[in-house]
Amino acid sequence: MPDVEIDRIVSECDRYWRSSGVPAPAVDEMAAELRSHLLDAAAEGKAPGEVVGADLAIFAEEWARTQRGPVAVRPAPSPPSPDARRTVLAIGLVVAGFTALAILAPKEDTVDLNSWQWIWIVAAVILAIGEMLTAGFFLLPFAVGAAAAAILAFLGVNPILQLITFIVVSVLFLSILQRFAKRVGTHPQVDAGANRYVGSTAIVIEPVDRLTANGLVRVETEEWRATTDQPITIPAGAEVRVVEVRGTRLVVEPVPPRAS
């Protein structure tokens, strides 16, 4: 129900503005302006999140800081990410694997290399299956490390060197995968709320005047109150560029006419 969500957003912003030192008359004006924007967005089929962004506290502070000095906004604690959970799972499985190796490893002075071959093969298979179930590239490096150790076991290399190879190959492969994932997964952030309009062009609906603080512009399909820092009145119908978001208003400047 969009009306319920709009009421919740306006109520939370109102509470934040009052508790952070915004004068009461300004809070009433900001709340009415915000409700109007949210209702217009809902009428156009847009979700409230497209207006206020992902973090409501940051949005409320952006609107409030023109009424008093900026305050620090503490971001809401985020739940553990799937990557963090998979990391913990990977570490747990590796610890369990070392425990199994300690239990299954031959205790005689003469080490049976055939036993180590099967230990590493089983470890590689288990880790590979775990990787397919989690699909996070956290178990794959350890599976590769176990496979490398198994090859050394078949070549008759000392078990201590097998274990060292397992650790080194796993760590190196894990480091390479993490760097690759960070490089591939990096995407530019999109500005939240009204900040996404900075740099956009708009059309003046009502004349924009710095002294009277009047003005109305249309950006895409939304109408916003506007002001300007320039000592001029921008007439209706003029094209302007949004240079800043200041409280409930967009700060605009005229766009020079294009040469014909």
Percent pLDDT > 70 in the chain is 71
Average pLDDT, the chain: 75
pLDDT confidence of residue 187: 42
Alpha-carbon distance 32 to 50, whole Å? Answer: 18
**Which amino acid type is present at position 87?**
T
Quick: pLDDT tens for 133-155: 765 566 788 888 888 988 988 88
What's the average model confidence in pLDDT over 28-56? 81
The b-or-e profile of 69-94 (16+ CB within 10 A means b, else e) is eeeebeeeeeeeeeeeebeebbeebb
Q: Which two tokens stand for residue 116?
A: 């180590």
Whether pLDDT at 12 is above 60: yes
What's the average model confidence in pLDDT over 153-171? 87
- Spell out the alpha helix ranges (H) of 188-238: none
Whether pLDDT at 78 is above 60: no
Strand partners, 218: 203, 223
Structure-token match 């530019």, residue found: 188
Write the DSSP symbol of residue 149: H
Q: Which CATH class is domain 193-254?
A: mainly beta
Decide which of 53 and 10 is more confident: 10
- The radius of gyration of the chain from alpha carbons, rounded to an integer in Å, stands at 30
Write the DSSP symbol of residue 186: -
pLDDT confidence of residue 113: 62
pLDDT confidence of residue 204: 93
Instruction: Supply the angle between the helices 159-184 and 140-154 in degrees, to the nearest 10.
Output: 150
Decide which of 175 and 217 is more confident: 217
- Phi and psi at residue 182, to the nearest 5°: -65, -40
CB 210 within 8 A of CB 226: no
Question: Which of these ranges, 83-97, 160-174, 193-207, 213-227, has the smallest mean pLDDT?
Answer: 83-97
